[in-house]
Structure 1
Amino acid sequence: MEIHQISFAKVGILSHDLAEITVDNGADITLSMVNELHQLLLSLFSESFSLLINKTNSYSTQLDALIHFGTLPAIDKIAVFAPNKLAKMSADFSATIPSSNALNIEVFTERDDALVWLIDKKSSAAGHNYLW
């Protein structure tokens, strides 16, 4: 799997239209960090793509950053892997942000379930090679 390190996270490329984002433990995500992530994603994908947000680590996101995250038009779907109660509460809250409401977001407590959901949503396009 191809992995890209940015200032606050690792971005793993799972397929030609799917990336997994794992934020560093203890990070406080700002608007400029979201812009950094958006720039990376747009450089990696030429068409729309989906994201797996891996909330294994504990981190915080400033409200303006959270609002801005969901405004990138190229994002197709987002699955959030929230392995514990606090991560799930945080993910559920994030999904209620107005810019997130326009996105197709689902929260899962199992990573494999999140990946299955993302792939099922893409099943109309055959021949994808997923690398997990």
Structure 2
Amino acid sequence: METHQISFAKVCVLSHDIAEITVDSGADITLSMVKELHQLLLSLFSESFSLLVNKSNSYSTQLDALIHFGTLPAIDKIAVFAPNKLAKMSADFSATIPSSSGLNIEVFTERDDALVWLIERKSSAASQNYL
């Protein structure tokens, strides 16, 4: 598994089209940090890709950064692992941001369920392309 550390998070490449992002505890994500993340993701994937956002650490995100996060066209689907109530509330709010409305986002309380959802969605999309 390929792992990359950026200024505020660890990004693990789980497969040729899935990355897991784990933000450092206590980080306050700014617009420039989201741009840094986007640059890394675009350097790692040549096609569309899905993300597993691991909210096991506590962090904050500035509104402009949250709005910009969902604007990267290469993002296919986002599964959010939110292991507690506060993380789930935060993830549910983030999914309502207008720039995220076009994305397929699901929130899960179990990491394995989130990963299975991403893999199954990729598999069903691939099989539909062959019909």
- The 3-state SS of whatever aligns with 1:79 is strand
| Structure 1 position 101 matched with structure 2 position 131 | no
Query: Hey, what's the Cα distance between the residues in 2 that align with 1:52 and 1:115?
Result: 7
- The 3-state SS of whatever aligns with 1:123 is helix
Query: Hey, what's the Cα distance between the residues in 2 that align with 1:112 and 1:17?
Result: 17
Query: Hey, what's the Cα distance between the residues in 2 that align with 1:104 and 1:81?
Result: 14
- The 3-state SS of whatever aligns with 2:118 is helix
| Equivalent position amino acid for 1:52 in 2 | L
- Return 5+ residue gaps in structure 1 as ranges: 127-132
Deviation at 1:93, TM superposition (A): 0.2
Query: Hey, what's the Cα distance between the residues in 1 that align with 2:110 and 2:84?
Result: 10
| Structure 1 position 111 matched with structure 2 position 111 | yes
Query: Hey, what's the Cα distance between the residues in 2 that align with 1:20 and 1:63?
Result: 22
- The 3-state SS of whatever aligns with 1:122 is helix
Deviation at 1:12, TM superposition (A): 0.1
Identical columns (%)? 90
| Structure 1 position 65 matched with structure 2 position 56 | no
Which of structure 1's runs of 4+ aligned residues deviate more than 2 A? none
Q: Note the aligned Cα RMSD (angstroms).
A: 0.8
| Equivalent position amino acid for 1:58 in 2 | S
With structure 2 as the length reference, what TM-score do the two structures score? Answer: 0.95
The 5 A counterparts of 1:120-131 are 120-124=120-124, 125=126
Deviation at 1:52, TM superposition (A): 0.1
Deviation at 1:4, TM superposition (A): 0.2
Deviation at 1:42, TM superposition (A): 0.2
Query: Hey, what's the Cα distance between the residues in 1 that align with 2:69 and 2:123?
Result: 26
Q: Highest relative contact order (Cα 8 Å, sep 6+), 1 or 2?
A: 1
- Return 5+ residue gaps in structure 2 as ranges: none
Query: Hey, what's the Cα distance between the residues in 1 that align with 2:27 and 2:122?
Result: 31
Q: Of Structure 1 and Structure 2, which has the larger fraction of its residues in helix?
A: 2
